Amino acid sequence: MARERSPARATVPPKARQTQLHEDLSSRLGRETHSLFRTRLLTAAMFGAMLSPLFGAVDLLAWLTWRPDMNLPAFLVLRFGMTLWFAALWVFLRQAEQLSVAAMDWLIFAPPAVALGYMTAATGGAASPYVAGITLLVAARTTLVPGEASKHLPVVSFLVISYPLAVLIFGEHRGNLVSWLSDADEMGHLAANLFPLVAIAGVGLVASDMIHAMHQRLVSARSLGRYKIKKELGRGAMGVVYLAWHRDLGRPCVIKVVNPEKDGSGALRRRFEREARETSLLRSPYTVQVFDFGITQEGQLFYVMEYLEGVSLQDRLDVDGPQHFDIVARWLGYACQSLAEAHARMLVHRDIKPANLFLARTADGREVVKVLDFGIARKVEDGPRKRRGVLSAADMPVDASLTAVGTIMGTPLYVAPEVLRGDGADERADQYSLAATAYHLLTGRPVFTAATIEELLLKTIDAPVVPPSQHLADGRLPKGFDGILMRALAKDPGDRFPSMEALRQAMEPFAAAPGAASTLEAAALEGDPGP
């Protein structure tokens, strides 16, 4: 089954290649909170317009049963008035974008609170079951409109206080505070109803504040400066890869967030910044462009790359199986040019494998290979060649897994023998990894297979390499090409090609022309079974 293709690549102009570590997340949070607050208030107005007429049935039931002396027409007029109020607000506030959310809040909730307070006072005062309407209004306000409790306290407090104030002003005591406070029955009912109302308001404010805090963390988690995180693309031992959106350029990009080890001295951060800056200077069209890097507010390291359309060579191998030699030679030629530039800047990739070679399409439709994930590349230090590198067996990636037949798949399949012996990784280690990748693409199997990682590492260090031609039908791999791979896979780095450019030149005669089909595909189209 074919794998899903990625969206179109976003090309970033050179002027965007400047480090932007952070944006003002507090201002962005304020904008998003304002937008959310406004949307929820409009939702509350809409629900009010729909529910108010339904409560007219409650008024009718009260008039028919326990309160035959109530002024039913006045109550129905109030219900109709609240319905019109909510509907008019919903229409008006959708257009009044300049109106503050605080004003919207008071307009939506204060008038209904006064109306419900009057209904409560007119149907028995503190003992009236109509207090349930105010309780429902308080619950709706704190549930529908989350935010910081301190900012929402004035409106919610008014909703709560509207109950005793309305009972005092519109009830039997008609504003006589002393008479009202002296009424033991009134005070008993007031306390019985006011306590749960205050409790509901308090719990609602706390819940509203918690929801707001969660939203704040979500905004922070889904933002890396000017980049908006869209979705996760994958994760591994080194960190997480996200599809993101560049807010300023309006284009997709890829962000890799690296999980640093304990870095009390700040050395890791300084090294990351230095190496990310070096990597961002790579200009080869066959290297994925790194155009930004930085530190998240949580202290995680991240770098930003262009987003490519296509599939990795690992995907192509998984779907289509072994590839023909001239196509593989063409792919490796692209990778050699990318790595040659990196090596000229004394950068060693350290993790060349099929998953880090990406088949992308150029503007004219040609398929080219781009080298991905220079995220663990390191600068080669000055000194003797054997000790210049910094990758040792101790920090070699070990993301390997066993298949049902005991074949190990993962990064260790492509690591050079000298690295496993504890020597440093220089540009010749990348050459070995690239040749091991080509071997796998050609034959459908890695250079060495084993039942355990330990056995795999021992074979890589000591066991002779079986020529790839022995895994293929006679004639499917030219002898010269077989010899090129065997030289690049030599145990001794000194026996390999002197540079990536030398390896590219050796493979060039065997490579299919850019955009052309392989000789095997061409023969099939002509009805010839081919070599």
Give catalytic residues, as residue numbers: 351
- Backbone φ and ψ for 287, nearest 5 degrees, come out as -120, 130
- Backbone φ and ψ for 522, nearest 5 degrees, come out as -65, -40
User: Which H or E run contains 523?
Assistant: helix 519-525
**How far is the C-alpha of 531 from the C-alpha of 529, rounded, in Å?**
7
The tokens describing 369, both together, are: 């290979």
**How far is the C-alpha of 469 from the C-alpha of 482, rounded, in Å?**
6
**If we measure between CA atoms, which residue out of 267, 244, 248, 266 comes closest to residue 256?**
244
**How far is the C-alpha of 264 from the C-alpha of 345, rounded, in Å?**
29
The tokens describing 240, both together, are: 């997480």
Q: Check: CB of residue 356 under 8 Å from CB of residue 342.
A: no
In which residue are the tokens 């040792």 written? 392
Q: What is the three-class DSSP state of 332?
A: helix
**If we measure between CA atoms, which residue out of 524, 512, 526, 521 comes closest to residue 481?**
512
Q: Check: CB of residue 163 under 8 Å from CB of residue 136.
A: no
Q: What is the three-class DSSP state of 311?
A: strand
**How far is the C-alpha of 353 from the C-alpha of 314, rounded, in Å?**
8
**How far is the C-alpha of 465 from the C-alpha of 455, rounded, in Å?**
15
Beta strands in 211-366 (DSSP E): 223-224, 227-236, 239-246, 251-258, 290-295, 301-306, 310-312, 347-348, 357-361
Task: Please provide the distance, in angstroms rounded to a whole number, between the alpha carbons at the two ends of the chain.
Answer: 28
**If we measure between CA atoms, which residue out of 499, 135, 511, 104 comes closest to residue 339?**
499
Q: Check: CB of residue 421 under 8 Å from CB of residue 461.
A: yes
The tokens describing 458, both together, are: 């021992």
3-state secondary structure string, 363-379?
CCCCEEEEECCHHHCEE
Q: Packing angle between helix 72-95 and helix 101-122, nearest 10 degrees?
A: 180
Burial 35-73 (b: 16+ CB within 10 A, else e): ebbbebbbebbeebbeebeebbebbeebbeeebeebebe
* DSSP 8-state secondary structure symbol assigned to residue 406: S
Tell me the CA distances in angstroms from 354 to 314, 351, 372, 409, 434, one per residue in order. 5, 10, 10, 11, 9
